[in-house]
Amino acid sequence: MTDRTPPGLSTCAIHGHSIQDAHGSPHLPVYDTTTFAFPSTAALLDVINGQQPGSLYTRYGLNLSIFAIEETLANLEGAEAAWSFCSGMAAESALFLTHGREGIICVGDVYGGTLELLANQLPLLGIKTDFILGSELGQLDTLLAAGAKLVFFETPANPTLEVLDIRAIAAQAHAHGARVAVDNTFASPVNQRPLELGADFVVHSATKYLGGHSDLTAGALMGSKELLQPVWDWRKNLGSTIAPATASLLARSLRTLVVRVRQHNESAQQIAEAMTRHPKVSRVYFPGLPSFPGHALAKDQMYGFGGMLTIEIAGTGADATRVADRLKLFTLAPSLGGVESLVTQPCTTTHHGLTAAERTRRGISDAMLRLSVGLEDTADLIADLEQALG
Ligand SMILES: Cc1ncc(COP(=O)(O)O)c(C=O)c1O
């Protein structure tokens, strides 16, 4: 695994945009304003007609705080452009409505909200959506031949941490003239940059690792200028732009993204190894374990294995619930990517909406607990798991 050549990711995270503050502040102030004044109608028309770049109206995303965060987000993923949104689901909705109208193929496990949007809402608008498991990729060619133009997946996926081959799926989709979008929320750009591997879009719930402190809700979409340009109108008219104050808070958080994620990775690796040795844990799902089925692929396409892992309790769903309820440092909450460790039982939260049979088909057992490893001392987190398991 190698990281990218200069400017490195930490430098980008800290100096990721070119916008200068007129008064010399090293941090861009929050432009908490809905609109911007112009010296003349001619100057106003220049911005409206796109002849001059400039701030205009915040819902359009034409606001200096938003320009700054988008330039930084694009740099982090090595993208030509990025749009920021008021949530991860807003970013996905705008992507699907712009580029998914000819059909969307969803591969593997995805976040429950994404699944609902694809399965329940988009078909109401006449958008055809197909779902295949990672083990059913043999069907991808047939589905692509039927005309779908967007393939969407998460890797590593929730909650099995299944690793999908970005290069191979992108090559297959491109051969049919389709585009590929990867939800990179679990990995973050520190651990994986799907555009380098052939994906056309990267989508993020910035609510998670990018925000990193469980105190903001935001989303991002990265890709080429050409492919992102039409998304801009959808975002503008759906009104799903990020708020300037959130953009500024996100920019503050991104400055520590690299050090945070590296520590999440290291701690998760140690916890995963400790859990493999625990007699009350029957299985550990973590890409950093050499015994994990996706390990070799993760080593090839990722720069780090991430801070998410899932353990399966040697027992029933009720036993797993008892362990979750007894944890003290791991907070019982359905999110991830923050400085504090969180635990969730997928069958009661993220995958509660699926039938028991569908969860079984997807390899999601009731005895699973998904851990988002935070930045507390690793020894304390292991001790917390041991007391809860004991
Ligand atoms: C992998 C993943 N993608 C997308 C989303 C949606 O993000 P948001 O809650 O910011 O809308 C989530 C939320 O949990 C997620 O876990």
pLDDT tens digits for range 147-188: 999 999 999 999 999 999 999 999 999 999 999 999 999 999
Asked whether residue 1 carries a pLDDT value surpassing 50, the answer given is no
Protein residue whose Cα sits closest to atom 8 of ligand 1: 88
Ligand 1 center from residue 113 Cα (angstroms) = 7
pLDDT of 4: 65
**pLDDT confidence band for 268 (50 / 70 / 90):** very high
Question: What integer is the mean pLDDT of 194-205?
Answer: 98
Enter the pTM of the model.
Answer: 0.96
Q: What is the dihedral of CA 129, 89, 166, 145, to 10 degrees?
A: 20
Q: Report the percent of the chain where pLDDT is more than 70.
A: 98
- State the distance from the centre of ligand 1 to the C-alpha of 378, rounded, in angstroms: 26
Mean pLDDT over residues 78-107, rounded?
98
- For residue 3, the model assigns a pLDDT of 61
User: Is the model's pLDDT at 21 over the cut of 90?
Assistant: no
Q: Does residue 328 have an active-site annotation?
A: no
Output the pLDDT for position 16.
87
Structure tokens, 64: 């200096």
Q: For residue range 343-365, what is the model confidence (pLDDT) as tens digits? A: 999 999 888 888 899 899 999 99
Question: How far, in Å, CA of 322 to CA of 213, rounded?
Answer: 27
59 is catalytic: yes
Nearest-CA residue for ligand 1 atom 16 is 111
Tell me the mean pLDDT in the region 27-51: 94
With both helix axes pointing from N to C terminus, report the angle between 257-276 and 378-389 in degrees, rounded to the nearest 10.
40
Neighbouring CB atoms inside 10 A of 168's CB total 15
Q: Is 154 in the pocket of ligand 1 (CB under 6 A)?
A: yes
Q: Whose CA is nearest to atom 6 of ligand 1?
A: 88
Strands of 368-372's sheet, edge to edge? 281-285, 308-313, 368-372, 342-344, 331-332
In this structure, the dihedral spanned by the alpha carbons of residues 368, 372, 375 and 379, taken in order and rounded to 10 degrees, is 10
Check if 130 is active-site.
Answer: no
pLDDT tens digits, one per residue of 281-312: 999 999 999 999 999 999 999 999 999 999 99
**Ligand 1 geometric centre to CA of 43 (Å):** 39
Given ligand 1 and candidates 84, 89, 182, which is best to mutate, with the most ligand atoms within 8 Å of its CB? 89
- The confidence band for 5, taking pLDDT boundaries of 50, 70 and 90, is low
Q: Is 183 a catalytic residue?
A: yes
Say if residue 143's pLDDT is above 90. yes
